[in-house]
Amino acid sequence: MRILIVGGGGREHALAWKLAQSPSCEAILAAPGNAGTADLGENLAIHDSDIGGICSVAEERRIDLVVVGPEAPLAAGLVDALTERGILAFGPTQQAAQIESSKWFAKQVMQSAGVSHARGELFDSAQAAHKWLEILGPDDLPVLKADGLAAGKGVIVPDHIDDAHDAIDQMFAGAFGSAGERVVIEDRLKGMEASAMAVVSGSDILPLPLSCDYKRIMDRDQGPNTGGMGVYAPPGFVGEPQDVFADVHQPVVEQMDSGGCQFHGLLYAGLMIDDGAMNVLEFNARFGDPETQAILPLLDGDLLPVLEASARGEALPRDAISHSGRASVSVAIVSGGYPGPYETGKPILGLDAIDESVDVFHAGTAIDDDGRTVTAGGRVLAVTAVADTLAEARGIAYDNVRRITFDGSFHRTDIALRELES
């Protein structure tokens, strides 16, 4: 098969890396890709949200399967557009992608499916939202969410009720564009977060290992949120993985199916676990980034027939992949200044000094005019190690992280430490 991966981050490099190992894979193309995907195939200078451009190139280049990485093209209807042209695509339709692109849609599905989640209300005016905050009272701090997609920035967890009122004003004043025209105010939950991903084909689900990502820039979860600073798998605090998928994914996909909104693609549940009690915070309609960089190296077997069956709407071939039962740790190396402003174009040194057993997934990288691999984004690389124990995986990952340098490079030093200390 000739495969086109849409996107250019670490998740897309990890998908390209795993799919390139399939005996059925003839070629990998990426739009737009990065230096990592260029190494596995061909990068195309097409933006991941250019629906017309992706459809045309998929026809011209005789692509057999398009695998969509990011949420924005899914929410914009890329899979629908490809399907109309007769091109097979992995990912949900625009309608089914609402499980991620509308927080309120997701809540209604969970409500109907009887899935435990943070309860919330929907507001379409600042006045009504302010009034609700007053009813809640100053000690009852909620979480505010722009209903639509806001590039991961639409969730506000205020420290003070005045901050909540300010956030409401900003959201309705257009801080998140049309995504903030409707705002969900929901109960604030406490606990530890985990990510649960499954490949879905209608009501058939194939669970992947659970994982835990680190969102804050600094050690001990200090500083602002980022796109993800590292991941480990599996987390020990979640309970039985099969219970998560039976209690969350299965009822949700059955509810969507019966509601005429069948889901095909990757369903990701963001969970909050408190003393064994599990609630869903959000759904994503795509592979998690950076979770994918830690999970795919744990899978034995061929992922391609699984994604293909999901795209065709067929039963998922359960025996195609298995989990090794081992542990993985993935550490992101980022540009100095990230998640604020940062410089790019810094040559990356040490990529040839990495252990053979370790995978380095590229995110913001490019090849410069002199043929050097240089930085091209905030999150630059993810270094993933797999081993029999989490402690071993962590040791190997950091040993290799230290061999890679570029001007201003930064990484967290405590990925997976919390789990090992507890």
| Residues forming the site for ligand AMP (CB under 6 A) | 118, 143, 155, 157, 186-189, 193, 215, 270, 281-282
- Comparing C-alpha atoms, which of 239, 246, 232 is closest to residue 393? 232
Q: Are strands 65-68 and 89-90 parallel, antiparallel or unpaired?
A: parallel
- Return the structure tokens found at 82: 């490809």
Residues of the chain by 3-state class (helix, strand, coil), percent to 5: 35, 30, 35
Q: How far is the CB of 332 from ligand GLY (least distance, A)?
A: 11
- What does the angle CA 213 – CA 115 – CA 202 come to, to the nearest 5 degrees? 85
Q: How far apart are CA 263 and CA 95, in angstroms?
A: 9
What is the DSSP track for 289-355?
A: TTHHHHHGGGEEE-SHHHHHHHHHTPPP-GGGEEE---EEEEEEEE-TTTTS-----PBPB-GGGS-
Considering only 291, 308, 359, 419, the residue that binds ligand GLY (CB under 6 A) is 291
Residue reference for tokens 């410089």 = 343
Q: Which residue's Cβ has the minimum distance to ligand AMP?
A: 282
Q: In whole angstroms, give the CA distance from residue 222 to residue 250.
A: 35
CB nearer to ligand GLY: pick between 120 and 290:
290
Smallest separation (angstroms) from ligand GLY to the CB of 213 = 5
279 is an interface residue for ligand GLY by CB under 6 A:
no
One of 37, 43, 284, 375 touching ligand GLY (CB under 6 A): 284
Span from 33-41, 172-180, 284-292, 345-353 in contact with ligand GLY (CB under 6 A) = 284-292
Residue 288, binding choice from ligand GLY, ligand AMP, none, Cβ under 5 to 8 Å by partner class: ligand GLY
x/- track of binding to ligand GLY for residues 163-202 (CB under 6 A): ----------------------------------------
The yes or no reply on residue 100 touching ligand GLY (CB under 6 A) is no
What's 402's DSSP letter?
T
99 or 129: CB nearest ligand GLY: 99
Residue 101 in the binding site for ligand GLY (CB under 6 A): no
Site residues (CB under 6 A) for ligand GLY?
A: 213, 228, 284, 288-289, 291
